[in-house]
Structure 1
Amino acid sequence: MKNKNGSANKKTGILAILMVGLVGFSCTKKAESAVKKEPLNILYSSSVISVPAVAIAKEKHYFEEEGLAPNFIILASGAIEALSIGKADVMLTGIIPSLSFAAQGSDIKIVGGTISGGNFVFTKSENATKYARLADWKGARLGTVRLSTSEMVSRYALGQLGLNMDAKSSKQDITFVEIDNYANIIEGVRKGQVDIGFVSYEYREALQDLGLAILFPMTDMYHNYVCCRETAYGPSLRDKRSAFVKFFKAQIRAYKDYLEKEDEIVSLFVKLSSQEPDFVRNALYSPEKSAGRTYHPDPDLKRTSAVYSTLQQYNYVPLETKITDIVDYSPYKDALDEIVKQYPGDPVYTQMLADFTANNISL
């Protein structure tokens, strides 16, 4: 009888412990769910392949895990104007509109990156040898879209060689011809209206089909030149700074997935974009076929400054505003510091910290 009572008491004790544990677990989960997530309105491209870090973080719920309540708004015409009046907190868009609006007084800040690289330089096949080196471009006519990244990067790179691109100068070495889109740039080179053109990597096969020669990716002119950036509405950045840190923590985690889980990420983007696997893999993971395109979320003050100084040099924007008044890398840096502390010794995060120092501090 004693043994039976002892056994019964033991079972009762175990049950009580389990119940206390379950109650504690339940309370913990309720406490976690009771923590209010910070809202952030994100103007977001429907072309998910162009914003992989954000897309991955969105699909894997990293934003929510970091304490955000993201509201994704699809980009439309007038997006930069909408951001500049506070219709969103942050926007993923081209670098030129962000720099131009900020230089002219809009309270917006570049805080992160989405794309670097991604353009090919091409010419007629019979001119491939003639224009193989930048130093041999003197006298060439370049077809570019006005105020495009291609125009600014080529002006910057050629300027480093001492070539004169001032349209008002009697000693002009390079002539820029403004063309409204990539398709017409291709046609302009094919017809001999311009000697050299710049197009996005998606036109690679079209160039080959037309017998035009790709000279090199534009990254050969300026390594990892920056393109699309992440731009914040100034008041939102000041009022919701912790939300921006969480925003970048989620992206940093997603970028690690992008680097380490190629097959999984390709499958994800095939589903999200409805594109063929080869197209997705080439866009995300083939430097040769994507013209050196990369997707680092680093704000990259160094290369952003190169684009901005070129805009100023050719009087596209006022001279008064400094690039350090436009780029605020501190939310990204704080997020990266927290991630590195959370995952000490992780090689991806360690490298991202080294990248940050090289791209933003060592100017």
Structure 2
Amino acid sequence: MKKKLKVSKILWSIEIASVFLTSCLFVSCNSKKEKKAELATLIFSNSSSSAYTPLYNISVADGLTEKDGLKPKIELIDDSMGPLQTGKIDGRINNLTKPLIAGGNGADIYIFVGTMGGGHIVYANKKIADKVRDPKNWKGYKVGLAIQVTSQLVLNSFLKEAYGYTNDDIDFKYLDSDPVAIGACSKGEVDITSVYYSQRELAESQGLVEIAELVDYSPDYACCRQSANGKSFRKNRPLYVAWSKGLIEAWKIYNNDENRTIEIIQEITHQDEEWIRNHIYDAKGTAHITFNPDPYYNGVLKQYRISVDQGYINKEHPRPLEEYFDISVYADALKEVIAEHPGDQFYKDMWVYFVAHNDKYPGFAEKYPETL
């Protein structure tokens, strides 16, 4: 009888232990699920035409921001500013001119990190191509550009800085799109145009002659930046730092692991390797496009000033660029990445680049050392 009682106690103990272990495992699994579910979300938009932009795709695919508590969501939506300004999305990945002008006129948004730079080609009508290869000879000619796009602001800024040319010296015609500008140039309605590299085939099929890449006139100019809804940016600043960290780490992957980058972009675009290389790694084919995530305040400042000069931003009371252009989020993100990888020269070089490209920001020298 005592043996049976002893066996029963043992069995009872084993059963209790089993229930306890199962409960622990259940709680542990649920905790992991809850922890995963607790990741915060930021919603970013991008246009379908630039869905292959590599850095954010690498960051999302490799979960680079999840260690810092962020699970970003990307939506391909229309190119208007409405969703950003109304808070339906937290940020925009593409475009500079629209948020630059909207912010300058009082919209509650912030520009805070880069998406791409470069990527535009300058073409001329074949009859006058040789005469205008040097832009100092552009006086008296007609330049046709899609309105309020990067190439318009960069060209205007360059011609004013380099030669003092204004709209009184060059007849600027503003058109609806790059294809319309190409058509106008081929017909002789304008003499010169600058369009995105993806329009190369169309431009050449209509007889236009490439006279330069826009980087020949304005090296390393800023193109698409990322912008954020003002309320979200102020409320969720650590999440935007996490997002920026992901882009910084993705920049290293892009530069050092082409196979991984191509694999990720293939999943997004369903294009072959040659197509992907042509669009993100072929410097000449893309008119020297770059995907550096640096905010590049200095380059955007040039475009801001010409926007004020041409009246896109209120000339009487222009909102200062530094009020809605934030370099601190990127700086904090890069500092964190460098601290997490203290021996990595790649990230230290990114800080050197940051200093060189943002040192015109008011109070920069007092806040940011030349080296870390």
- Give the TM-score category using the shorter length: 0.7 to 0.9
From the superposition, tell whether residues 49 and 88 of structure 1 become closer, same or farther in structure 2 (CA, over 3 Å): closer
- Residue correspondences, number: 335
- Aligned partners of 1:60 and 1:45: how far apart in 2? 21
CA deviations on 1:296-342 (whole Å, 9 max, x unpaired) are: 11111101111000000111111430011120011111110000111
Where in structure 2 are the equivalents of 1:226-241 lying within 5 Å?
226-241=222-237
Where in structure 2 are the equivalents of 1:56-205 lying within 5 Å?
56-78=58-80, 80-166=81-167, 172-205=168-201
Cross-structure match for 1:46: 48
TM-score where L is the length of structure 2: 0.84
* Matched residue type, 1:42: F
- Aligned partners of 2:162 and 2:339: how far apart in 1? 43
CA drift of 1:140 comes to 1.2
CA deviations on 1:154-213 (whole Å, 9 max, x unpaired) are: 1000001233323xxxxx211101121212211111111111111110122233333321
SS at structure 2 position matched to 1:281: helix
SS at structure 1 position matched to 2:305: helix
Cross-structure match for 1:12: none
From the superposition, tell whether residues 199 and 294 of structure 1 become closer, same or farther in structure 2 (CA, over 3 Å): same
Contact kept, 8 Å, 1:49 with 1:283, in 2: the verdict is no
* Matched residue type, 2:358: N
SS at structure 2 position matched to 1:216: strand
SS at structure 1 position matched to 2:190: coil
Contact kept, 8 Å, 1:117 with 1:224, in 2: the verdict is yes
- Aligned partners of 2:140 and 2:248: how far apart in 1? 44
Cross-structure match for 2:39: 37
- Aligned partners of 2:134 and 2:161: how far apart in 1? 14
Contact kept, 8 Å, 1:163 with 1:174, in 2: the verdict is no
Of 217, 222, 246, 1:221 maps to: 217
CA drift of 1:42 comes to 1.6
**In the alignment, is residue 252 of structure 1 matched against residue 248 of structure 2?**
yes
Cross-structure match for 1:332: 330
Cross-structure match for 1:15: none
SS at structure 2 position matched to 1:68: coil
- Aligned partners of 1:45 and 1:209: how far apart in 2? 26
Contact kept, 8 Å, 1:45 with 1:51, in 2: the verdict is no
SS at structure 1 position matched to 2:153: helix
CA drift of 1:32 comes to 9.3
Unaligned runs of 5+ in 2: 1-20, 362-372
TM-score where L is the length of structure 1: 0.86
- Aligned partners of 1:242 and 1:174: how far apart in 2? 46
Contact kept, 8 Å, 1:44 with 1:75, in 2: the verdict is yes
CA drift of 1:277 comes to 2.5
* Matched residue type, 1:356: F
* Matched residue type, 1:144: L
Cross-structure match for 2:57: 55
* Matched residue type, 2:204: Q
Contact kept, 8 Å, 1:48 with 1:272, in 2: the verdict is no
Aligned-residue sequence identity (percent) comes to 28
- Aligned partners of 1:108 and 1:226: how far apart in 2? 18
SS at structure 2 position matched to 1:152: helix
Contact kept, 8 Å, 1:48 with 1:273, in 2: the verdict is no
* Deviation larger for 300-309 or 174-183: 174-183
* Deviation larger for 301-310 or 318-327: 318-327
**In the alignment, is residue 299 of structure 1 matched against residue 300 of structure 2?**
no
* Matched residue type, 1:53: L
CA drift of 1:148 comes to 1.5
Contact kept, 8 Å, 1:104 with 1:318, in 2: the verdict is yes
Cross-structure match for 1:273: 269
Cross-structure match for 2:9: none
- Aligned partners of 2:90 and 2:225: how far apart in 1? 14
Contact kept, 8 Å, 1:144 with 1:150, in 2: the verdict is yes
Contact kept, 8 Å, 2:142 with 2:173, in 1: the verdict is yes
